[in-house]
């Protein structure tokens, strides 16, 4: 099923993001997590793509399991930053052969190691080029990434909105947002993009902070700002891991409850492959 057909309804969609473990580990653990997530009856599960296209076979294998063993719609992530058209077409044809009909199409991040930049070749410089290609040559429902606080490389929100509009106009069916910890940030983003005539559905990306190590990492990776109430939690429970996790889950639940009240199109939970914590959040918020 194409996910774009699911958005015409009153209820908030629920989706989970999972990542295949690194190459040295078998996929059994993620299959087990998926089996557990499936019992929560999500509308779809998305599967990340290794940076720069590494381990694309793992995304395919996991997406195949999600869709064909657990019978949950799969959204396979795909990045183009270090790939030629033929590489991309190979992955798309493989996905299609496994009956995966939904792609989250992205550019991907530049590698931190500047040396490897020299060896990089790409047919599609931006996600919008990849999306236009998929739309014209293949038959998928296409999601794209959106950044309520602006993408880290973009100088200002106005320019970010212009680029988002180009990306949507090139064939995006719906958007999934980067993590945010302040719902006002999302509501401002929605106002901004609706004014720019970007009308596709938006799934709001929520990640519970479960430990203090995550904080610096998340901020460094995606630039999500930490509002005062969350900062207080971080400081209060820095040295009490159990209390930190409990408070982080409660914070995410409060965010979700407010988002549902504001009738967002979907809640996309970045599960970090944590089954029990994801179950708690879905049950506490009454999403299932």
Interaction between residue 186 and ligand FAD (CB under 6 A): no
- Least Å distance, CB 24 to ligand FAD, is 19
Q: Which is nearer to ligand FAD, 127 or 234 (CB)?
A: 127
Q: Kindly tell me which residue out of 65, 133, 151, 274 binds ligand FAD, with binding defined by CB under 6 A.
A: 151
Residue 141 phi, psi dihedral angles, 5° rounding: -85, 135
Q: How far is the CB of 235 from ligand FAD (least distance, A)?
A: 27
Catalytic residue among 17, 73, 149, 245: 17
Q: Select from 92, 141, 145, 253 the one that contacts ligand FAD (CB under 6 A).
A: 145
Indicate the SS3 state at residue 17.
Answer: strand
Using CA atoms, how far apart are residues 100 and 247, in angstroms rounded to an integer? 37
The answer to whether 276 is a known catalytic residue is no
**178 close to 205: Cβ distance less than 8 angstroms:** yes
**C-alpha span between 86 and 36 (Å, rounded):** 36
Cβ atoms of residues 77 and 104 within 8 Å: yes
Q: How far apart are CA 37 and CA 66, in angstroms?
A: 10
Residue 189 in the binding site for ligand FAD (CB under 6 A): no
Is the alpha carbon torsion for 209, 215, 217, 223 positive or negative?
Answer: positive
Residues between 213 and 252 with contacts to ligand FAD, criterion CB under 6 A: none
The answer to whether residue 154 forms part of the interface with ligand FAD (CB under 6 A) is yes
Q: CB nearer to ligand FAD: give 151 or 274.
A: 151
Q: Does 161 bind ligand FAD (CB under 6 A)?
A: no
Spatial contact of 200 and 173, defined as CB atoms under 8 Å apart: yes
Q: Is 107 in the site for ligand FAD (CB under 6 A)?
A: yes
- Tokens in use for 27? 């996929």
Rounded to a whole number of angstroms, the minimum distance from the CB of residue 275 to ligand FAD is 20
Check binding of 205 to ligand FAD (CB under 6 A): yes
C-alpha distance across the termini of the chain, in Å: 21
Interface residues toward ligand FAD, by CB under 6 A: 48-49, 51, 77, 79, 106-109, 126-127, 145, 151, 153-154, 160, 163, 167, 176, 178, 205
């Amino acid at each position: 099923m194409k996910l774009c057909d699911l958005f015409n309804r009153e209820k908030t969609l629920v989706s989970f993001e999972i990542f295949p473990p690194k190459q040295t580990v078998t996929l059994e653990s993620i299959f087990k997590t998926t089996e557990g997530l499936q019992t929560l009856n999500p509308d779809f599960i998305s599967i990340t793509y290794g940076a720069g296209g590494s381990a694309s076979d793992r995304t395919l294998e996991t997406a195949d399991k999600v869709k064909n063993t657990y019978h949950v719609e799969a959204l396979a992530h795909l990045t183009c930053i270090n790939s030629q058209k033929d590489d991309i077409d190979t992955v798309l044809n493989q996905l299609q052969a496994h009956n995966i009909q939904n792609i989250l199409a992205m550019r991907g991040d530049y590698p931190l190691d500047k040396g490897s930049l020299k060896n990089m070749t790409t047919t599609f410089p931006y996600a919008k080029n990849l999306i236009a290609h998929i739309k014209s040559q293949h038959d998928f429902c296409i999601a794209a990434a959106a950044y309520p606080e602006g993408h880290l490389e973009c100088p200002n929100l106005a320019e970010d909105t212009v680029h988002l509009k180009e990306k949507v106009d090139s064939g995006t069916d719906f958007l999934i947002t980067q993590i945010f910890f302040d719902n006002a940030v999302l509501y401002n983003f929605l106002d901004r993009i609706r004014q720019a005539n970007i009308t596709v559905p938006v799934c709001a990306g929520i990640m519970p902070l479960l430990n203090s190590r995550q904080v610096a990492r998340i901020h460094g990776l995606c630039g999500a700002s930490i509002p005062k109430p969350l900062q207080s939690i971080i400081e209060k429970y820095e040295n009490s891991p159990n209390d930190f996790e409990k408070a982080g889950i409660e914070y995410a639940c409060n965010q979700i409850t407010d988002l549902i009240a504001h009738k967002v199109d979907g809640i996309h939970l970045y599960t970090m492959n944590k089954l029990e914590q994801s179950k708690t959040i879905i049950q506490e918020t009454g999403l299932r």
